[in-house]
């Protein structure tokens, strides 16, 4: 048994100024004109209208007054599942379009953030924790591409032309790549913006985006372009020609992990956890409603008996030196794992002081 496993939550993305879940709807609203340029069907405009009509959102409203994204997606999923109407003008087929508009908006907002903000701290984190020949092992609840980009960059630095992460989920268009064209393990428990899934034949393909396109291997595999995949027509499945959709476990209250590719990722995450002798958490708050993830962590780390082998990096704006037992997140970790190695100065603070 050996090795370190890194676990990332939303706070890791926040540390590169990426948007948090509660900032995505306000960003879609604020950037609707820009997003509309990649949305010829006008779905995002329809989503904005829906938010105004049904959730009392108006221009300039602070984010606290928006409906939560998990709540909104859960309500849409519930109405779609029951085939019921919210209101006469929003029938079931329109609700399905709104669901697609949210996916497009999430993709656009996260991709725009990744283009603007440097991901240096993720790269530093990897180079400090994983010295060659050991390769990074990462589990993440984030479906953005911040860590993907950092990992691809690290692989290129270590051995040009670099390799793609091992995602462990049967992506068809990279299945022929050899081991030398893969680098590190990246287990994305909630799916990924660059995984495109066919709901008919269950084929999964990796798509390319502007933020990750620098890896020459991505040209070679000739995956679908992601931007077009999120827009009206979408990229077609290579087998049955149905439209591919991104494979994301929506941040709703009804998280659905039954997708076979997602199940494979979870199985691998359990295996990687059990073999690690050190675990590092960055920006994961252990929310009580994340029962499936907490179950995975509790079982997967049961063999680590020394709590100091578990490092937790959180962020307390008011007091970066706050003690574990004085912080609500610290207390949640303590209850599960004991007196862990706790840091509340954020990822950048931890990298400069402790690693
Ligand atoms: Zn298909």
How do residues 179-198 score in pLDDT, each as one tens digit?
A: 888 999 999 999 998 888 88
CA of 240 to the centre of ligand 1 (A): 4
At residue 232, the pLDDT reads 47
How do residues 77-135 score in pLDDT, each as one tens digit?
A: 888 888 888 788 888 888 888 988 888 888 888 878 877 777 789 999 999 999 988 99
Ranges 228-237, 252-261, 290-299: which has the least confidence:
228-237
Q: Average pLDDT for residues 303-312, to the nearest whole number? A: 96
CA of 236 to the centre of ligand 1 (A): 8
We find that the CATH architecture of domain 1-18+118-195+251-355 is 3-Layer(aba) Sandwich (3.40)
* Of residues 180, 184, 221, the one with CA closest to residue 204: 221
- pLDDT tier for residue 58 given thresholds of 50, 70 and 90: very high
- pLDDT tier for residue 56 given thresholds of 50, 70 and 90: very high
* Of residues 105, 218, 107, 89, the one with CA closest to residue 152: 218
How do residues 128-182 score in pLDDT, each as one tens digit?
A: 999 988 999 999 999 888 899 899 889 988 988 888 899 999 898 888 788 888 9
Higher model confidence: residue 36 or residue 314? 314
At residue 219, the pLDDT reads 62
Rounded Cα distance, 53 and 50, in Å: 5
CB 18 within 8 Å of CB 148: no
Rounded Cα distance, 316 and 327, in Å: 8
End-to-end CA separation in angstroms for the chain: 22
CA of 194 to the centre of ligand 1 (A): 17
CA of 204 to the centre of ligand 1 (A): 9
What pTM did the predictor assign? Answer: 0.89
Q: If you count them, how many residues does the chain have? A: 355
* Of residues 101, 7, 87, the one with CA closest to residue 47: 101
Longest dimension (CA), the chain: 61
Rounded Cα distance, 147 and 6, in Å: 11
Position 284 pLDDT exceeds 90 = yes
CA of 241 to the centre of ligand 1 (A): 6
At residue 229, the pLDDT reads 56
- For residue 325, the tally of other CB atoms under 10 A from its CB is 10
Residues measured by CB to lie within 5 Å of ligand 1, the ion: 198, 200-201, 203, 237, 239-240
CA of 229 to the centre of ligand 1 (A): 14
What stretch of H or E contains 235?
none
Percent with pLDDT over 90 in the chain? 48
Percent with pLDDT over 70 in the chain? 91
CA of 164 to the centre of ligand 1 (A): 23
CA of 250 to the centre of ligand 1 (A): 21
Q: Average pLDDT for residues 5-9, to the nearest whole number? A: 97
- Residue 175, SS3 per DSSP: coil
245-248 β-sheet, strand order: 204-206, 191-197, 245-248
CA of 33 to the centre of ligand 1 (A): 32
DSSP class per residue in 12-30: HHHTTTPPPHHHHHHHHHH
- For residue 296, the tally of other CB atoms under 10 A from its CB is 18
Rounded Cα distance, 12 and 283, in Å: 5
**C-alpha torsion 264→266→272→276, nearest 10:** 180
């Amino acid at each position: 048994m050996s090795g370190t496993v890194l676990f990332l939550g939303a706070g890791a993305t926040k540390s590169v100024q990426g948007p948090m879940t509660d900032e995505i709807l306000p960003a879609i609203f604020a950037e609707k004109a820009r997003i509309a340029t990649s949305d010829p069907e006008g779905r995002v405009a329809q989503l904005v209208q829906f938010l105004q009509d049904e959730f009392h959102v108006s221009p300039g409203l602070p984010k606290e007054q928006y409906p939560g994204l998990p709540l909104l997606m859960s309500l849409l999923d519930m109405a779609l599942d029951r085939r019921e109407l919210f209101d006469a003008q929003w029938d079931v087929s329109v609700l399905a379009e709104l669901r697609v508009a949210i996916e497009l908006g999430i993709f656009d907002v996260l991709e725009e953030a990744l283009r603007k903000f440097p991901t240096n701290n993720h790269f530093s984190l990897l180079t400090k924790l994983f010295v060659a020949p050991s390769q990074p092992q990462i589990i993440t609840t984030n479906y953005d591409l911040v860590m993907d980009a950092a990992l691809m960059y690290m692989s290129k630095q270590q051995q040009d032309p670099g390799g793609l992460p091992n995602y462990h989920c049967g992506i068809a268009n990279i299945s022929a790549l050899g081991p030398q064209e893969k680098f590190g393990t990246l287990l994305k428990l909630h799916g990924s913006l660059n995984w495109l899934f066919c709901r008919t034949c269950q084929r999964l393909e990796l798509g390319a985006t502007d933020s990750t396109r620098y890896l020459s291997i991505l040209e070679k595999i000739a995956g679908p372009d992601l931007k077009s995949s999120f827009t009206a027509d979408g990229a077609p499945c290579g087998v049955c020609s149905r439209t591919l959709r991104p494979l994301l476990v929506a941040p709703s209250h009804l998280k659905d992990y039954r997708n076979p590719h997602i199940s494979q990722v979870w199985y691998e995450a359990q295996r990687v956890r059990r073999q690690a002798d050190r675990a590092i958490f960055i920006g994961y708050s252990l929310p009580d409603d994340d029962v499936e993830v907490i179950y995975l962590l509790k079982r997967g780390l049961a063999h680590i008996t020394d709590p100091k082998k578990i490092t937790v990096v959180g962020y307390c704006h008011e007091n970066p030196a706050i003690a574990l037992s004085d912080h609500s997140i610290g207390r949640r970790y303590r209850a599960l794992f004991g007196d862990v190695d706790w840091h509340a100065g954020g990822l950048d603070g931890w990298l400069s002081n402790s690693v």
